[in-house]
Chain A
């Protein structure tokens, strides 16, 4: 029996690292873990609406293959036997890619996305496709083919998005690894809302071949897990360029999960104006950030206040580029079948029809300046500490409040600059919902990001989970 499990532990509660340890120790097999996750899905998905396509038979075949690999002592990769839920804008052969929309066909696609191929090569158990906001954009909507995913902490609240199912499923214990995407914060937002870890790697670290695009110069495959070490293991396995995604690159590192996790000597730029001046954060979120700065400082890091451009400047650049890119992708659908979009999505995608070329050029120029400015920060500092969401998750019955809180964030700056960033739980607000912090590092320096995030998890102590007994 490995140190991380006991006979009473429900296998669906275990994260990636604990599962791999258990497999290696012979404590349990992937088929047992899969059946435990399937029971959990059956218990909870009726109220959480995470899955839009669940392939039980296929998952059982994959788990049996993992059993054989572990019995033979030859696991096939870093994720052998790890159940995974995949956002429904990412192709999985044999399953439809509906993108949460009536626009897309119901028939199965015939080939895997690059990241799906890598998951298979690494031995992961693909459970199925999970909920997304329509085309990975906008807000939770009630006029789409599938209902929106709900927050496992309180089903009256949204789970963040657009990778809503990936976040809710990991937080609820359905699977330990959720594959999402992040164009303006869409993987880190569900992590913040659901009290888990959301990692947006450096732009280009994971190939986007076979991922339905929203904004190609901003889109990044993101990872949702229950710990930083789990995210590091997954990123080690999945960081992979492909010829079909010319923006994908080979990272300068090969391992992330075996490094140090202490804060001693880290140089941290605390960008407090994002949440104190640019967008005034909920006081509990702000207190969590100050507490993180204090913890890092007490642990031997140097923490200085630092000023970047105002958050709204990043939002403005992101908005113009995203709307222009998205319109280019959806133009034909919008001309031929606009009635098939949800109302909010139709309006959002139509914005790009009216963005002028000069504004797009200005946005691109401004983006270059913002990249250079952040590079100057990273010349002095290893890590940026700032807010992720400014509020706990909003309620479904308050759409105006939800729209307001979706926009109150500081994730977009790292999409604009391409820097890797991670959202981490910092505690629970007085309403019982998770709050979070965000860390970022210079592009391609995931080792520093993982080190700092793992250090924070150590010094902040264990956080509650959505599935902890009440």
Chain B
């Protein structure tokens, strides 16, 4: 997704003023959301799988 695509999405969400005021923050926010979502999806690979055994080291 290009920066202009991000700004278009933001406008569709009603964030026109944010796009006009500070487009770089809108673009940075979208990138951060992508990172946060990626991290969850990465961890989400374990859904339904048993946890690794909890090791207790004396």
Interface residues of A (CB under 8 A from B): 304-309, 312-313, 316-317, 319-320, 323, 334-339, 343, 346-356, 359, 362-363, 365-366, 369, 373, 376-377, 380
Contact = CB atoms under 8 A, between A and B. Distances in A.
Given A304-B57, A305-B56, A366-B44, A350 B37 contact: no
Contact of A347 (B6, B14, B25, B47): B25
Interface residues of B, number: 34
27 contacts: A305-B58, A307-B54, A313-B43, A317-B43, A320-B40, A323-B36, A335-B14, A335-B17, A336-B17, A338-B15, A338-B18, A339-B21, A346-B25, A347-B25, A349-B29, A350-B18, A351-B32, A353-B13, A353-B30, A354-B6, A354-B34, A356-B37, A359-B37, A359-B41, A363-B40, A366-B44, A377-B54
Nearest 10 Cβ contacts at the A-B interface: A354-B33, A350-B29, A316-B39, A347-B25, A359-B37, A338-B18, A305-B57, A354-B30, A351-B29, A362-B44
A366 B40 contact: yes
Contacts of A377: 54
Interface string B17-32: 1100110011011101
B29 A353 contact: yes
A312 B40 CA distance: 10
Main secondary structure of the interface of A (DSSP, over half): helix
B33 A351 contact: yes
A343 B25 contact: yes
Contacts of A316: 36, 39-40, 43
Contact of B51 (A343, A353, A373): A373
B10 A353 contact: yes
Contacts of B40: 316-317, 320, 359, 362-363, 366
Nearest to A363: B40
A309 B52 CA distance: 9
B55 interface: yes
Contacts of A307: 54-55
Given A305-B57, A338-B15, A359-B41, A354 B9 contact: yes
Given A304-B57, A306-B56, A351 B36 contact: yes
Contact of B15 (A312, A320, A343, A353): A353
A317 B54 CA distance: 20
Contacts of A334: 15, 18
A350 B21 contact: no
A355 B37 contact: yes
Contacts of B34: 354
Contacts of A309: 51
A317 B55 CA distance: 23
Given A338-B21, A347-B29, A351-B29, A306 B54 contact: yes
A455 B6 CA distance: 53
Nearest to B52: A307
B36 A319 contact: yes
Nearest to B51: A373
A32 to B, nearest CB: 50
Contacts of A319: 36, 39
Contacts of A338: 15, 17-18, 21-22
Nearest to A337: B17
Contacts of B54: 306-308, 373, 376-377
